[in-house]
């Protein structure tokens, strides 16, 4: 009789087991397609390759692309200084210097906007103020007046424009971004015009300009590597 009782209990338990399993399955969390941790599934919450590269500073860039970004930051920083120094010259310079300086304010302000557009397209964070050396020159000029101011300003911007022309000349032959190459070419035309105007003002006002530095050798015109050593 006791054995019959245990058999009845086992039978009842067996009958309830599928129901319990179904209930447990209904209450358990279901892993949806694209849930955290699936990674390669569509709609994943894991960071994508592109967003990870942006977060880490785009490590997939090659050497020239990184060099382009460095150049853009340099160009924007020097452009800020060009405008600030020219604005100071508009206030403190002689008539000829004021006229030249206003032209530089207008042209460099426009060039800065165009270079900022290029920087934005490349994802470059650009400086918001001039560099330390240019700030020192600004402070120096701010303490001068009359002929001393004109001489220092004209001499400084002549040297600065030659340096920028050399930097741009080197960049235009190797720039990996077409938009950057176009902007560099346009800026070089503007700087050539400025150098002509600077020379005329210097001649009119009796200011001796430093000699023009030699043009640097472009990377694509570099001399060939030395021959291998002779075999013994």
Q: For 203-226, how does the pLDDT look when each residue is reduced to its tens digit (9 = 90+)? A: 999 999 999 888 777 765 444 444
- H helices, E strands: number in the chain: 7, 0
pLDDT at 31: 38
The per-residue pLDDT for range 181-196, each reduced to its tens digit, is 999 999 999 999 999 9
Distance CA 186, CA 60 (A): 29
- Measured between alpha carbons, how far is residue 221 from residues 29, 84, 94, 166, 217 in Å? 66, 36, 43, 15, 6
Find all residues with CB under 8 Å of 83, minimum gap 6, and list them.
104, 105, 108, 109, 112
The per-residue pLDDT for range 132-177, each reduced to its tens digit, is 999 999 999 999 999 999 999 999 999 999 999 999 999 998 999 9
Label residue 137 exposed, middle or buried (CB < 10 Å: 0-12, 13-18, 19+). Answer: buried
Banded model confidence at residue 95, pLDDT cuts 50, 70, 90: very high
Smallest CA-to-CA distance from 32 within 42, 22, 21 is with 42
pLDDT at 63: 85
Tokens matching residue 67? 């060099």
Q: Are 212 and 160 in contact (CB under 8 A)?
A: no
Smallest CA-to-CA distance from 138 within 77, 74, 73, 88 is with 88
Length of the chain: 232
Banded model confidence at residue 57, pLDDT cuts 50, 70, 90: very low
Tokens matching residue 41? 């599934």
Tokens matching residue 59? 């490590």
pLDDT at 213: 87
Whether residue 69 is predicted with pLDDT greater than 50 in this model: the reply is yes
Mean pLDDT calculated for residue range 99-120:
97
Percent of the chain with pLDDT over 90: 62
| Mean pLDDT of the residues in the chain | 78
């Amino acid at each position: 009789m006791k054995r019959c009782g245990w058999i009845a209990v086992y039978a009842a338990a067996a009958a309830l087991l599928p129901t319990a399993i179904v209930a447990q399955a209904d209450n358990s969390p279901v892993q949806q397609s694209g849930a955290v941790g699936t990674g390669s599934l569509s709609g994943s919450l894991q960071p994508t390759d592109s967003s990870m590269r942006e977060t880490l500073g785009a490590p997939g860039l090659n050497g020239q692309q990184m060099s382009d970004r460095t150049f853009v930051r340099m160009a924007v920083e020097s452009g800020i200084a060009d405008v600030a120094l020219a604005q100071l010259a508009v206030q403190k310079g002689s008539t000829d210097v004021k006229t030249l300086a206003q032209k530089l304010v207008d042209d460099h302000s426009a060039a800065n906007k165009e270079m900022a557009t290029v920087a934005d397209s490349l994802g470059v964070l650009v400086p918001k103020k001039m560099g330390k050396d240019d700030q020192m020159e600004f402070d120096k000029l701010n303490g001068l007046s009359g002929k001393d101011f004109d001489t220092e300003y004209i001499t400084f911007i002549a040297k600065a424009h030659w340096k920028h022309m050399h930097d741009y000349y080197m960049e235009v032959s190797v720039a990996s971004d077409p938009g950057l190459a176009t902007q560099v070419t346009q800026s070089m035309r503007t700087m050539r015009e400025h150098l002509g105007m600077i020379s005329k003002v210097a001649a009119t006002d009796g200011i001796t300009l430093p000699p023009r530095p030699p043009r640097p050798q472009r990377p694509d015109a570099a001399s060939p590597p030395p021959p291998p050593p002779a075999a013994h």
